[in-house]
Amino acid sequence: MNTKEYNQCVNLYSDGIFRFILKNMGDRFEAENIVQNTFEKLWIRKQDVKMETAKSYLFKVAYNNMIDVIRKNKRQTSLDVAFDVAAEDHQYSDLTEWVRKAVNKLPTKQKTAITLRDFEGYDYKSIGEITGMTESQVKVNIFRARKYIKNYISQLEPSLL
């Protein structure tokens, strides 16, 4: 595929892919990101993709990207949202303090990873670059940290009610 054919693909298929993703996800911002990522992947592999198969390739890449985003969003729970929900539901005035105490008890790698992710807003790749961990290690450390914090808070819950 050459540059002219790539531009044709953008003109022909970008709206359709956008509508497909938007219909399935209901999130305009995520749909725009997925379309952008899809065409970025096409650009990277333009030498391997033929114009005749470009449409199916693009929709497959967009679909797989959408599934990845949905899975990531299901697993990811921001601590700030958890604070707000817990505070509203249970009228905890010092829940943030308890979470900070739990975070301070974490091993260094977990504490660093969860702080960068949930308090500073870095993505997994950036955290890996900052800490020297792989993305997989970052995800594992964040998962374990969140699990510890959740267990720590749930043990305190009866005494706080």
Dump pLDDT digits (tens) for 67-83: 888 788 776 555 555 55
Q: How many angstroms separate the CA atoms of 78 and 121, rounded?
A: 9
When pLDDT is cut at 50, 70 and 90, the band that residue 4 belongs to is very high
Say whether both 61 and 97 belong to one domain: no
Q: What is the pLDDT at residue 140?
A: 93
Q: Are residues 102 and 46 in the same domain?
A: no
Residues 61 and 88 in one domain: no
Read off the pLDDT band of 123 (50, 70, 90): confident
Q: Which pLDDT does position 161 carry in this prediction?
A: 47
Q: What average pLDDT does the structure give for the chain?
A: 81
Let me know whether 42 and 103 are in one domain: no
User: How far is Cα 39 from Cα 56, in angstroms, rounded to an integer?
Assistant: 13
For the segment 123-144, the average pLDDT, to the nearest whole number, is 89
Are residues 52 and 112 part of one domain? no
Last residue of a domain, one of 23, 55, 75: 75
Q: Are residues 97 and 34 in the same domain?
A: no
Query: Residues 45, 87: one domain?
Result: no
Same domain, yes or no, for 16 and 33? yes
Share of the chain above pLDDT 90, in %: 20
Residue pLDDT, tens place only, 37-68:
999 999 999 899 898 888 888 888 888 888 88
Enumerate residues 6+ apart whose C-beta is below 8 A from 32.
18
Domain boundary among 43, 60, 75: 75
- Quick check: 14 and 39 in contact, CB under 8 A? yes
Residues 119, 111 contacting (CB under 8 angstroms): no
Give the domain CATH number at 117: 1.10.10.10
Residue 41 pLDDT: 92
Are both 84 and 64 inside the same structural domain? no
Q: Quick one: 85 and 31 in the same domain?
A: no
Give the domain range for residue 22: 3-75
Percent of the chain scored above 70 by pLDDT? 84
The structural domain count of the chain equals 2
CATH of the domain at 49: 1.10.1740
**Is residue 86 domain-shared with residue 70, that is, in the same domain?**
no
**Which one is predicted more confidently, 131 or 88?**
131
Single residue among 75, 99, 126 that ends a domain in this structure: 75
The H-or-E segment that residue 95 falls in is helix 95-104
Same domain? 67 vs 96: no
| Residue 136 pLDDT greater than 90, yes or no | yes
Torsion of CA 123, 18, 59, 126, to 10 degrees: -10
